Structure 1
Amino acid sequence: MTAASIALIGTQLAACGSDQTKQNESASPNQSSSKPVEITWWNFPNFQPLDGEVGKYEKQIIAAFNKKYPDIKVNLEMITYEGGPQKLNVAIASNTAPDVIYDAPGRIIDWGKKNLLAPLNDMVSEEVKKDISPALWKQSMVGDQIYMYPVNTAPFMMAVNKSVFDKIGAADLLPLDRPDRTWTVAEYEKALQAVKEKAPEIIPSGFYAKSTAGDQGTRAYIANMGVSRFLSEDNSKAAINTDNAAQALDWIVKGSKDKLVVPGAVSLAAADVNDLFLQGKLAFTINYSAVLKAQNEPNKKVKFDDVLLPFPTLDGSKPKLEPYLGGMAIFNNGDKAKIEAGKKLIDFIANDPETAKKNLIQTGGLSARTSVTGLYDNSEYKYAELARKFITDPPTIADGYAEIRTFWFPELQKALSGQATAKEALDTFASKANEAITKAKSQSKAK
C-alpha cells in the first residue's frame, strides 16, 4: 500500500494511549536505574514487509521501543503460518516458549485456558475496555482474565475480482450500489453464471476442504448461505446441521459439477484457493478481509481490482461475519521482570502516540478500538468499517474449539466426494462437536 493511498487521522490515536502508556512514560528507564531485562518476541508476519524483507518493520518497532526503554532487550524471531504453530507447540512442550507473541484468538485463548499465559488485566484501562466491543473482548478473555491485548481487526468476508465483471459488462450483478452490499444467494448464483458463460477461462467461485487452515471461510460461507449459525449463540452445541445449511452445502457440491465452484475442492487448502484468486483465475474467493487484501497486494500475479463483499444469504437478511482479530499475549515463563517488560512492549505497539497509528496501518487492519476510524482513504476500508456492524461472536471462543475444528473438514470432504449427503455430513459433525464441547466443559469443571 502506498503512502499516497493512506489518509492518517493525526489526533485520534495520539489521544488514545492507555493509562499504562502514561505510567510507563513517567517511569521510563531513561530516567531510572532499572535492571536490564531481555525478552523474546515471536511474530507471525502480522506487519507488511518493508522493502520485501520480512521482519524489517518489526526491527524498526524495536528500535523505536528502545529509545524509550533502553534497558529492555527484545530478541525478535519471525515465524511462518505454515510451520509456526508446530514450532510454538514444541516450544511450549519443552518450556522454551517465547515471552511475547502476536497471534489470533484461536491459539491464544486455548493457551489461556491451559494457564500458560500471564493475565493482562492491569494494563487495560477503563477507557480502553469501553472502547473495544464486547465481541472482541470475548475473543480475548477466559472468564474475567484478559489474555490477549486486542490490536487490529477486520470482518472476515468474501472478495470478488471486479475487473472480471467490468470486462464482461456484468458489474451491475454485484451489490456494489447498496451501501451495505448485502445480497441473496440467487443474486450470487446469477453473478457466477455470468462468469461461467462470458468468461469461461475464469473459475466462478472457490471452496476448499483439505485442512483446518481457513476454516472460518468455509463455515461462515455455509452458515450465511443457509441462514444458520455454526454453533449456538451460547456456544453450548453445534447449530450448523440445519436443513437450510445442508441445502447450502448441497449447492456447493452441485456447483462443483456444474462448473460454478472450483473443481477438486477436497484436495485444495485455503491458501491454494486464494492463490488462484491472486493469479486472476478465480472470480470469487471466500476467505478474505481488509487485512488479507493489504497483505495480498504485493502477491498478485496480475493486476485486478479486488473488492470486499459480505457472504450472500438465502433471504437477503443481514449476514453474520466473524471478526479477524490480531492481538498480543505474554507466556508466563515464571519471570515477573520479563512479564512486565512484555507488557511495556505490547502497550508501546498498541498505544504509543507516535507509532501506534503507523503500526495499525502496517498490519492492513482496522483498529480494535471503535473510536479509531478513518485511517485509510480507500473505499474498501471504508466498507470494512461499515461491515463491522455485521460482526458476530466467533465459535473460536467455545470450550473444546481446538478439537471441534478438526472434525469440520473431514465431513466436508465426505460431502464433496459423495461419501455422505450434506445433511449426513453436518449431522455427523454436530454429533462429534457436541461430544467435544461436553468433554471440554467437564475437564474445565474438574480443574
Structure 2
Amino acid sequence: MKFVLHAPLLAATALLGVTVTAAQAETTLNALFMAQAAYSEDDIRSMTSAYEAAHPDVKVNLEFVPYEGLHDKTVLSMGAGGGYDVVLFDVIWPAEYAQNNVLLDVSDRITNEMKSGVLPGAWTTVTYENKNYGMPWILDTKYLFYNKAMLKKAGISTPPATWAELKADAQKIKDAGIVKYPIAWSWSQAEAAVCDYTTLLSAYGGDFIKDGKPDFQNGGGLEALKYMVDSYNDGLTNPNSKEFLEEDVRNVFQNGDAAFALNWTYMYNLANDPKDSKVAGDVGVVPAPGVEGISDASAVNGSMGLGITTTSKHPDAAWNYITYMTSQKVQNAYSKLSLPIWKSSYTDPEVTKGQEELIAAAQTGLAVMYPRPMTPHYQEMSMALQQGIQEALLGTASPKDALQEAADNSGL
C-alpha cells in the first residue's frame, strides 16, 4: 500500500507543513469530517498536512465527529454564523442543503476534465436539480464479506448469490457448530440500519417513494424488513446487530465471530490485516446478493462529497483544498480504504494490486447502487424508518405495522 510505505515521508512532510503554516499562514480553513468508516482520521490528517506543506499560506483546522453528528453539526454551525468552510456531506443531504442554502453551488468551478474523468454515478452524490454542491469524495456501497475458511468447513463451495442462499448457507454453518451467529449487520437505530435496509429493498425491487408518497411499506420494502426480522428470529443474525454500527460489525467479523457481514469498502483491507485481524487471508468479498427473478445483485449508494458552506469567508481557498483532497493522485494513494471516484483509477496497478477481488465486486456493486430518497424531508423519513426497523426487530410491532407507522411519520 503506497500510503503505508511512504508513511515516514508523509509524517516528515506533515511536521514541516505544521511548522511552516504556523508561522506564515494567512488563510485558515475550518473543515468538518467524519470519524468512522472510509478514510481514517490519520489518513485525512496526512492528506491535509501534505496540502499545507504545498500551500504554506493556508492552515486547515480539522474537526472529526461520528457520522451521526455530521449533519446536525453542519446545520447548527450555519445558525451560529458559520463555523466551517469545508464540510463532508452524505448523498442524502443535497436536497435539504440546497433548500436551506447550506452549500454553495459550485457548478461553474467544475472543469471539463473533472466532468469526463469522474465516474458518472459519483456525480449523483453532489447533484440536486442539475446543480453541483461539491465534489464527490467517498464512492462507496455495502458489500457482502464472507469467511472463506468457515464456508469451506461447512462444505459451501461458492459464496451466496441470492439472499435466500445466504440464509441457507448461514443455517448450514450454524448447524455445523462453526459459529453461533453466522451473520453480522449494522442495525443500530441510526442511518446504518437504513443503509442495510436499502440494500435489501433494492434487491426485492422496492420503492421508497411512488407518486410523491411513501411506498416502502409495500412490496419490496416490506419483504426487505421481513427478511431482516426472519434472520434475527431464526438465530442466524447476531442479536447484538440491533445495537451495532459498522465498526462493531468489522470487529465481530475480524475476530472470527461471524461468517458473513454487510459492510462498506474500508473493511476489506482492515479485516485482511494480520496485525489486527484473526481472519486475515480468509476474507472474501462479493456484491450484496440479489433475489431470484428480481435482481442479480443489490447495493446502496453510500457515497459522500466535500462542499463549501455559504458562510465561508474563503470559498476560493476552500475549493482549492477540496480539489486537492478529491484529486486522482491523492485518491489513488489512499485507495485501500476508499475506492477512487476516477474512471481510469480502476486500471491503475497502484489501486488494483492486492485488492483485485474487491475491485471485481465493486464493478458490479457500484453499477447498481440504489439511492435513498432525494427529498428535503429525508431526515424525518430516516428517523421514522430507523424506529420502525427497531420495533420490528424487537417484536413490538409486525414488519407491516412498523413500516406503516414509519410511512405515516415520514413527513411526506
State whether residues 173 and 191 of structure 1, in contact with CA within 8 Å, keep that contact through their aligned partners in structure 2. Answer: no
How far apart, CA to CA, are the structure 1 residues paired with 2:204 and 2:364? 20
1:192 matched to 2:178? The reply is: no
Query: Which residue in the other structure is 2:404 paired with?
Result: 427
How far apart, CA to CA, are the structure 1 residues paired with 2:44 and 2:242? 37
Task: Name the CA shift for 1:209/1:75 in 2 (closer, same or farther; >3 Å).
Answer: closer
Query: Which residue in the other structure is 2:159 paired with?
Result: 174
Normalised by the length of structure 1, the TM-score is: 0.75
Letter in 2 for 1:411: G
Query: Which residue in the other structure is 1:293 paired with?
Result: 268
Letter in 2 for 1:361: S
1:367 to 322, 325, 340: 340
State whether residues 328 and 340 of structure 2, in contact with CA within 8 Å, keep that contact through their aligned partners in structure 1. Answer: no
Measured against aligned partners, the alpha-carbon deviations of 1:145-196 in whole angstroms (never above 9, x if no partner) come to 2112012313323222223213x14341424xxxxxxx22332222111111
Query: Which residue in the other structure is 1:38 paired with?
Result: 28
Deviation of 1:398 (Å):
2.7
Query: Which residue in the other structure is 2:22 paired with?
Result: none
Aligned runs of 1:44-193 on 2, under 5 Å? Answer: 44-45=34-35, 48-49=39-40, 54-55=41-42, 57-81=43-67, 83-107=69-93, 110-166=96-152, 168-175=153-160, 183-193=161-171
How far apart, CA to CA, are the structure 1 residues paired with 2:62 and 2:185? 36
Aligned runs of 1:387-398 on 2, under 5 Å? Answer: 387-388=364-365, 390-398=367-375
1:277 matched to 2:253? The reply is: yes
* SS across alignment from 2:47: helix
Query: Which residue in the other structure is 2:205 paired with?
Result: 227
The number of equivalent residue pairs is 386
Letter in 1 for 2:155: A
How far apart, CA to CA, are the structure 2 residues paired with 1:88 and 1:405? 18
Letter in 2 for 1:376: T
* SS across alignment from 2:213: coil
Query: Which residue in the other structure is 1:444 paired with?
Result: none
Superposition RMSD on alpha carbons, in Å? 3.2
State whether residues 78 and 311 of structure 2, in contact with CA within 8 Å, keep that contact through their aligned partners in structure 1. Answer: no
Higher relative CO (Cα under 8 Å, sequence separation at least 6) belongs to 1
Aligned runs of 1:248-397 on 2, under 5 Å? Answer: 248-263=224-239, 265-286=241-262, 288-294=263-269, 300-304=276-280, 305-315=282-292, 317-333=295-311, 335=313, 338-351=314-327, 355-358=330-333, 360-361=334-335, 364-374=337-347, 375-377=351-353, 378-388=355-365, 390-397=367-374
Deviation of 1:383 (Å):
1.6
How far apart, CA to CA, are the structure 2 residues paired with 1:196 and 1:306? 19
Unaligned segments of structure 1, at least 5 residues? 7-34, 176-182, 438-447
State whether residues 113 and 142 of structure 1, in contact with CA within 8 Å, keep that contact through their aligned partners in structure 2. Answer: no
* SS across alignment from 2:376: coil
1:214 matched to 2:183? The reply is: no
Letter in 2 for 1:36: E
Aligned runs of 1:18-33 on 2, under 5 Å? Answer: none
> Which of 264-273 and 374-383 deviates more?
264-273
State whether residues 213 and 270 of structure 1, in contact with CA within 8 Å, keep that contact through their aligned partners in structure 2. Answer: no
Query: Which residue in the other structure is 1:26 paired with?
Result: none
State whether residues 271 and 279 of structure 2, in contact with CA within 8 Å, keep that contact through their aligned partners in structure 1. Answer: no
Task: Name the CA shift for 1:68/1:431 in 2 (closer, same or farther; >3 Å).
Answer: same
State whether residues 139 and 396 of structure 1, in contact with CA within 8 Å, keep that contact through their aligned partners in structure 2. Answer: no
Unaligned segments of structure 2, at least 5 residues? 7-24
State whether residues 138 and 340 of structure 2, in contact with CA within 8 Å, keep that contact through their aligned partners in structure 1. Answer: yes
